[in-house]
Structure 1
Amino acid sequence: MADDCDDEGWRGSSGPGEGHCLGVLPGLRLFDMTCHLSGRHYGGTAYLPAYQVILGRSGGYLRQVNGVETFADATSCLVARPGDELRVAHPIGGGDTFTAVQWDDEVELELPHGELTVGDAGDLAHRALVAACHRGIDSFELADRVHHLLRTLAAQSAPDVPVTARPETWVAHRRLVARAIAVLIGRGYTVGLDDLAAEVGASAPHLSRIFHTVTGQSLTAYRNRLRVRAVLADLADGAPNLRALAAAYGFADQSHLTRVMRRHLGRLPSEMQQLVRPS
């Protein structure tokens, strides 16, 4: 499907990156992208020309949409509209990978505008779609997979702002959580709670409480979800050694990785290899 799609439809619309088009349907395009920029400061503003969903697969970066800052990682999804203002910064370095689905006005897709948190089902549908496109699928399967992914995302939403939180308090809490996530990713998911709290300038109990308030998840659950998705990204890239992956991402051993992956995805690592690998 990639030969039917123009890569220039992405470049210049959502900021710098490289990659290629995975597939095209009437009024809809799917892109596989990597961004190699790094730096703590925001780059220039991009004005998005089309409706799109941007889904992280690996890495993490700061994303500012219409002036609102979020730390985007493999649990993140942005649903954008034409004219939205997008700026990005990469405080932990580049190499982020993500998928973008763009569609035209005439395509009717009901998705809430803004940031969404991608659950395990949505992430699995996302990675399976990318792998299937790389393997080669026809337009019928592409349409089925794209719309399954978008339906799954539409059923999800970001945590609500607590009714007792003042706007400035909520912004401060989001920034604290963003710093904590950046440290988690930058340190390879192996940093302990006390060290993580010290690095972001908070006590461990305070960080744990604020993290759950902002994300709707405990730090342990969030870290495990990020670690599982990092393993999936490496499996998609062809990493063969599960024991080495378990050690690299701070699991006690391969059995621990298997238990955590099964808890989140209901599948074994060997099954996930078959699902997410392009070939």
Structure 2
Amino acid sequence: MGAPRAVDPRIPLAVRAATAEATRIDVVAADLGLSAARLRALVAAQVGVPLSTLRQWRRLRGAVGPLVAGGGSRGIADAAAAAGFADQAHLTRAARRFVGRTPGSLRSGRLDPHVASGFTLYVDERRGP
């Protein structure tokens, strides 16, 4: 079975950069000396989740946190736009995919606010493919 392979040290940097801001993948890849396609392949192989999924998770966190914290004061469409979703429907599809709930159910308090606002993206840098 052997020891797990070491994670390419560029991968945690890429995941942080690509999920921290609305940074283009090709820019992150170029900064690391990789093509965008190679970066996507490395992240998927070493993290186990496609980079696009990690980026969508970040946007979901950005939309849900303010919805839950603000109660009913912030509109779902506004939260979607502020978090980088194309529209409210795009946010709704992402919320259903990741947490099985609609943004409206999250905002109305049908989910514990500590759970909703505490979504965490954790990348174990020791994980190998």
Query: Do these two structures clear the TM 0.5 threshold for a shared fold by scoring above it?
Result: yes
Provide the rounded CA distance (Å) in 2 between the counterparts of 1:179 and 1:162.
Answer: 23
In the alignment, which residue of structure 2 is the partner of 1:205? 37
In the alignment, which residue of structure 1 is the partner of 2:89? 255
Matches within 5 A, 1:62-211: 165=5, 170-171=6-7, 173=8, 175-187=9-21, 190-211=22-43
1:208–1:185 CA distance, 2 compared to 1 (3 A): closer
In the alignment, which residue of structure 2 is the partner of 1:270? 104
1 or 2, which has the higher strand percentage?
Answer: 1
1 or 2, which has the higher helix percentage?
Answer: 2
Contact kept? 1:232, 1:276, Cα under 8 Å: no
- One-letter amino acid matched to 2:78: A
Provide the rounded CA distance (Å) in 1 between the counterparts of 2:3 and 2:38.
Answer: 16
Matches within 5 A, 1:28-43: none
Structure 1 runs of 4+ aligned residues shifted over 4 Å read none
Provide the rounded CA distance (Å) in 1 between the counterparts of 2:100 and 2:61.
Answer: 14
Provide the rounded CA distance (Å) in 1 between the counterparts of 2:79 and 2:3.
Answer: 38
In the alignment, which residue of structure 1 is the partner of 2:62? 230
Once the 2 structures are TM-superposed, how far is the Cα of residue 182 of structure 1 from its aligned partner? 2.1
1:265–1:210 CA distance, 2 compared to 1 (3 A): same
Provide the rounded CA distance (Å) in 2 between the counterparts of 1:231 and 1:271.
Answer: 13
Once the 2 structures are TM-superposed, how far is the Cα of residue 268 of structure 1 from its aligned partner? 0.6
1:251–1:211 CA distance, 2 compared to 1 (3 A): same
Contact kept? 2:68, 2:106, Cα under 8 Å: no
The CA RMSD over aligned residues, in Å, is: 2.4
Structure ID, larger Rg: 1
Once the 2 structures are TM-superposed, how far is the Cα of residue 220 of structure 1 from its aligned partner? 1.1
Percent same amino acid at aligned positions? Answer: 31
3-state SS of 2:85 partner: coil
Deviations 1:23-75 (A, max 9, x none): xxxxxxxxxxxxxxxxxxxxxxxxxxxxxxxxxxxxxxxxxxxxxxxxxxxxx
Provide the rounded CA distance (Å) in 1 between the counterparts of 2:3 and 2:92.
Answer: 35
The count of aligned residue pairs is 109
Gaps of 5+ in 1: 1-160
1:276–1:231 CA distance, 2 compared to 1 (3 A): farther
Scaled by the length of structure 1, the TM-score of the pair is 0.35
Deviations 1:144-196 (A, max 9, x none): xxxxxxxxxxxxxxxxx985x4xxxx24x1x3122122213432xx2232223
